[in-house]
Amino acid sequence: MTNILWLKGGACSGNTMSFLGAEEPNVVELITDFGINILYHPTLALEIGKQVSNLLRDILKGKMEVDIFVFEGSVIQGPSGSGAMNYFADRPMIDWINDIAPIAKYVVAVGDCAAWGGIPAVPPNPTESTGLQFHKDQYGGFLSAEFRSKAGVPVINIPGCPAHPDWMTQILVALATGRVKDIVLDELNRPKTFFTDFVQTGCPNTMSFATRVEGGFGKRGGCLFYEVGCRGPLSRATCNRILWNRHSSKTRANHPCLGCTEPGFPHHDLEKGSVFKTMKYLGFAPLDVPTGSSQLGYYAYSGAQNAPVSAEKALGTLDSSSETP
């Protein structure tokens, strides 16, 4: 039996909605086939009020173990670091996190807000939101860079806005079945199995990317990189390989990838003209170039010369060791 405790901070509950749509495995299978026991989940639980604080206090007294502590939403530290903007079960949520994270065998951050602050952390960030262990792409979230769970593992980040449901359930199963050693993390503590390839891998528009054929929002054919801000070549995620609802993805529906699995999301802090629009340098060259390219190199070699690299990235055969995510 693996006990999961799921708490939420500054959350829209999008990751919970996504989680409930998981298919491989689905949430019922987590319980029936993989021995997972959900101690408490704010959306699913029957407990309310005192029952919740009693349950959390019983955990702190050691009456029951937390094997996996899942956190969704930003860690709200305001005002002035008190955490009083996010009270839960009679205490600031930050106090529960402080007490529970070190006694949990594993800690998992689901979604961008829990991983690195996400939308709530966009300046001026009135709630003083941050991620569990990261703030944007740096250590400096709520827990220290040195934090390790009881099993000696840092916070496992499963980013996305929301995270893909199967990324969540498959990591939970790996932890519940003692396969933590199979979860290799990248430098942002994301499981590499889901966050090594780019969203562009598997996108049907890659040939248009290579040949610089512009598409458009909702328009069939063409690539969304040049005008409507697609971040598929800059964002590591399996959205075009493990399809959403086993059916599609943003770019398959000709909607630009917003780069939601990267710690910069929302990119350019939602600056005017930065969403659904390709920001341009000198009015014509994309400001954000594909990961692994320097701006100068990209501008110099884009076009026909860009095709081989683009094709390699699309096929997933590009040597990523030389790239900076």
Length of the chain: 325
At a CB cut-off of 8 Å and minimum separation 6, what does 308 contact? none
Site string for ligand SF4, 255-274 (x = CB under 6 A): --xxxxx-------------
Judged by CB under 6 A, the residue of 30, 70, 168, 203 near ligand SF4 is: 203
Closer to ligand SF4 by CB, 92 or 233: give it.
Answer: 233
Contact stretch for ligand SF4 (CB under 6 A) within 14-22, 91-99, 224-232, 316-324: 224-232
Closer to ligand SF4 by CB, 17 or 151: give it.
Answer: 17
Q: Is 237 one of the binding residues for ligand SF4 (CB under 6 A)?
A: yes
CA–CA separation, 107 vs 4, rounded Å?
10
Placement of tokens 């350019």 in the chain: 268
Dihedral over Cα of 161, 166, 167, 168: its sign: positive
What secondary structure letter does DSSP report for 165?
A: H
Q: Which residue is nearest to ligand SF4 (CB)?
A: 232
Contact stretch for ligand SF4 (CB under 6 A) within 34-42, 60-68, 135-143, 244-252: 244-252
Q: What is the token pair recorded at 138?
A: 């740096």
Judged by CB under 6 A, the residue of 250, 288, 291, 306 near ligand SF4 is: 250
Contact stretch for ligand SF4 (CB under 6 A) within 30-38, 132-140, 246-254, 276-284: 246-254
Contact stretch for ligand SF4 (CB under 6 A) within 37-45, 106-114, 119-127, 195-203: 195-203
- Asked, as a colleague might, if the bond just before 256 is cis with ω within 30 of 0, I would say no
Q: Which of residues 147-176 bind ligand SF4 (CB under 6 A)?
A: 160
Contact stretch for ligand SF4 (CB under 6 A) within 55-63, 86-94, 188-196, 248-256: 248-256
Placement of tokens 């090594």 in the chain: 196
Using only the alpha carbons of the chain, give its radius of gyration. Answer: 20
Q: What is the token pair recorded at 274?
A: 């930065």
**Total of chain residues touching ligand SF4, rule CB under 6 A:** 24
Closest listed residue to residue 325, CA positions, set 238, 277, 263, 276: 263
Site string for ligand SF4, 12-41 (x = CB under 6 A): ------------------------------
The number of beta carbons lying within 10 Å of the beta carbon of residue 148 is 14
Contact stretch for ligand SF4 (CB under 6 A) within 18-26, 77-85, 122-130, 233-241: 233-241
Judged by CB under 6 A, the residue of 205, 291, 302, 306 near ligand SF4 is: 205
Q: What is the token pair recorded at 67?
A: 């094997």
Judged by CB under 6 A, the residue of 27, 94, 109, 199 near ligand SF4 is: 199
Q: Count the helix, strand and coil residues of the chain and give each as a percent rounded to the nearest 5.
A: 30, 15, 55
- Asked, as a colleague might, if the bond just before 25 is cis with ω within 30 of 0, I would say yes
CA–CA separation, 155 vs 133, rounded Å?
7
Residues in contact with ligand SF4 by the rule CB under 6 A:
160, 199-200, 203, 205-206, 209, 223-225, 230, 232-233, 235, 237, 239, 249-251, 257-261
